[in-house]
Amino acid sequence: MADGVDELIDRYLLSSAQFEEKLRRVRPGQWTLPTPCSEWDVRALVNHMTRGNVNYVRLIDGATGAEFLRSRDADALGADPVAAYARSVQDCAAAFTAPGVMQRTVDYPLGRVTGRQALAVRTTDSTIHTWDLARAIGADETLDAGLVRWIDEHLDEIYAGLAETPVSAESTHRFFATPDGDPGSGASTQDRLLHRMGRTP
């Protein structure tokens, strides 16, 4: 994963912008629709993404993985989910742009990682959950091809050393959904990636 700081920030911002584009399509009656993440409806998924950004900023500021998990489900949306999400993205990008942050070690809940690896995980999470949101609300499910290719090529490295990963047969699947079946020989790169992340395209 040889991306420079600016390249990785750009990937994060692109994945976040794709999620926001789907978020802006959510109609008033869709917030309680189920998503591919069985424990979350649409509002809970959007809160997970927004709270995740907030918690990544807290990690950069020295919070522990245990603190991250304790606040994981706390409401971060308030009365304006779109504005709350957009603000969380700006704050997260600013935090990772600060000098030295990419080399700093943070206490991510699944293991201590550099800021660079943490942001790669966040970018992957944002990309996959963009598909989840699109599927839930019936929007176009096509993800950015460059992001998909980058994640697919670096997936092992992105999750290297973590206690649970979507690429390990020994994973408990507490945090990552279990792949089901086979994506098929003719599956696209996006569909193969989604399958590895426990989705059914």
- What confidence tier does 173 reach under pLDDT thresholds 50, 70, 90? low
Q: How far apart are CA 138 and CA 59, in angstroms?
A: 34
User: Token pair of 100, please?
Assistant: 């030295």
User: What share of the chain has pLDDT > 90, as a percent?
Assistant: 80
Q: For residue range 129-155, what is the model confidence (pLDDT) as tens digits?
A: 999 999 999 999 999 999 999 999 999
User: Token pair of 113, please?
Assistant: 């990682």
> 143-152: b or e for each residue (b if 16 or more CB lie within 10 Å)?
bbeebbebbe
Q: What is the pLDDT of residue 164?
A: 81
Q: How far apart are CA 123 and CA 116, in angstroms?
A: 11
Is residue 46 within 8 Å of 77, Cβ to Cβ?
yes
This model's pTM is above 0.85: yes
How far are the Cα atoms of 65, 79, 185 from residue 12, in angstroms, in the given order? 21, 25, 30
Q: Three-state DSSP class for 131?
A: helix
Q: How far apart are CA 200 and CA 21, in angstroms?
A: 22
Return phi, psi of residue 108, to 5°: -60, 145
User: Token pair of 181, please?
Assistant: 């079946």
Number of other CB atoms surrounding residue 39 within 10 Å:
10
User: Token pair of 28, please?
Assistant: 């008033």
Q: For residue range 101-140, what is the model confidence (pLDDT) as tens digits?
A: 999 999 999 999 999 999 999 999 999 999 999 999 999 9
Amino acid present at 45: L
